[in-house]
Amino acid sequence: MRSSVLLIALTLCVGPLAHAVPPDVRLAQVREVLANVPLIDGHNDLPWQFRKRMDNHLGGLDLRTDLTRLDEPTHTDLARLAAGGVGGQFWSVYVPADLGRDEAVRATLEQIDVVHRLVGAYPDALALALTADDVERIHREGKVASLIGMEGGHSIGDSLATLRMMYALGARYMTLTHFKANDWADAATARPVHHGLTAFGRRVVREMNRLGMLVDLSHVSAETMRDALEASLAPVIFSHSSAYAVCPSPRNVPDDVLRSLRDNGGVIMVTFVTGFVDRRIRKHWADASAEKARLDSLYPDDPERAESELAAWRKAHPTPVTTYREVADHVDHVRKLIGVDYIGLGSDFDGIESTPKGLHDVSGYPTLLAELLRRGYTPEEVGKIAGGNVLRVMRAAEAVAAKLRADGAEPDETWYTPEPPAAAAVD
Instruction: List, by residue number, the catalytic residues.
Output: 43, 45, 151, 178, 219, 240, 348
Q: What is the rounded CA–CA span in Å between residue 78 and residue 362?
A: 9
Cβ-based neighbours of 153, under 8 Å, separated by 6 or more: 174, 175, 176, 177, 182, 184, 185, 201, 204
Residues recorded for the chain: 427
Please list the residues that pair with 176 across neighbouring strands: none
Q: Which letter, b or e, does each residue of 355-370 get, where b requires 16 or more Cβ atoms within 10 Å of its Cβ?
A: bbebbbbbbbbbbbbb
Q: What is the CA radius of gyration of the chain?
A: 22
Residue 130 backbone phi and psi in degrees, to 5: -115, -20
Q: What is the rounded CA–CA span in Å between residue 277 and residue 282?
A: 8
Cα distances (angstroms) measured from residue 94 to each of 103, 114, 134, 148, 251: 13, 11, 23, 10, 17
Cβ-based neighbours of 273, under 8 Å, separated by 6 or more: 240, 242, 251, 348, 352
Cβ-based neighbours of 401, under 8 Å, separated by 6 or more: 209, 210, 211, 212, 234
Cα distances (angstroms) measured from residue 165 to each of 88, 156, 200, 212, 411: 23, 9, 18, 13, 12
Which stretch of DSSP H or E encloses residue 145?
strand 144-151
Cα distances (angstroms) measured from residue 363 to each of 150, 260, 391: 24, 33, 21
Q: Which letter, b or e, does each residue of 323-345 get, where b requires 16 or more Cβ atoms within 10 Å of its Cβ?
A: bbbbbbbbbbbbbeebebbbbbb
Residue 125 DSSP code: T
Q: Say if residues 60 and 54 touch (Cβ distance below 8 Å).
A: yes
Cβ-based neighbours of 317, under 8 Å, separated by 6 or more: 284, 287, 288
Region for 350 from its dihedrals, namely left if φ exceeds 0, alpha if ψ lies in -120 to 50, beta otherwise: left
**Cβ atoms within 10 A of the Cβ of 303, count?**
11
Q: Tally the C-alpha atoms within 13 A of residue 365's C-alpha that lie toward its C-beta.
A: 36
Please list the residues that pair with 88 across neighbouring strands: 40, 145
